[in-house]
Amino acid sequence: MMVLKHKVINMIISWFPDFFFYFSGIAPEGLVLAAVSFGIGHIFYMTQFFGNPITLHRPSLWTICAWNTFVGIVCLVPWLLEHFVGVSILILYSFLLSATLVVSISQYVTREPNEDPHPLLVRLIGFGLFYFSDSILIIGRTLWRFPHTDVLCLSTYYAAQYFILYANILHSFAKKLQ
């Protein structure tokens, strides 16, 4: 029952960013509130997998750090003085999302030989899509708005939500079978 309650709370928290985006027209304030809600949601999602061993996958860590550095310098730093609090929250959120992606990659790549890879792979796809969606969002809002930015951002975002939730359901079922 606790696991179900945990998933329901997480899904409710995951809906808040949609409302912030909708009512703010993706204004900077809405983006910051969405980042806070997403961050809380990511923490809840990740708690489902804290029981899995983690051996850090360094190539993914360095790749994601390099991408974050590029996006941060090009997209966020120019706005830092004008919107210090908002940009600081977005930077903290990017660290949290990056950590969830690195942990997801690490747990999938370094899993135990007898462990079912399916829930870990589905979760990795979900957080990968989330990371991609957020990259599209920030680049599209600050640097270069390419054709169909919103469609690509939202379609990968909703696919990510589905994959992450599905991974948590798979993980819960696997735990019950053990």
Quick: pLDDT tens for 71-89: 989 988 888 888 888 888 8
State both tokens at 91: 């930077």
pLDDT bucket at 118, cuts 50 / 70 / 90: very high
Q: Tens digit of pLDDT for each residue in 21-40? A: 545 454 555 667 777 777 77
The predicted pLDDT at position 11 comes to 58
The predicted pLDDT at position 161 comes to 84
57 dihedral zone (left: phi>0; alpha: psi -120 to 50; beta): beta
pLDDT bucket at 65, cuts 50 / 70 / 90: very high
pLDDT bucket at 125, cuts 50 / 70 / 90: very high
- Report d(CA 129, CA 157) in Å as an integer: 7
First and final CA of the chain: distance in angstroms? Answer: 17
The predicted pLDDT at position 105 comes to 95
Dihedral of CA 22/164/98/6: which sign? positive
Identify which of 61, 60, 89, 152 has the alpha carbon closest to the alpha carbon of residue 144. 152
pTM of the model: 0.79
**The total number of residues written for the chain in this structure:** 178
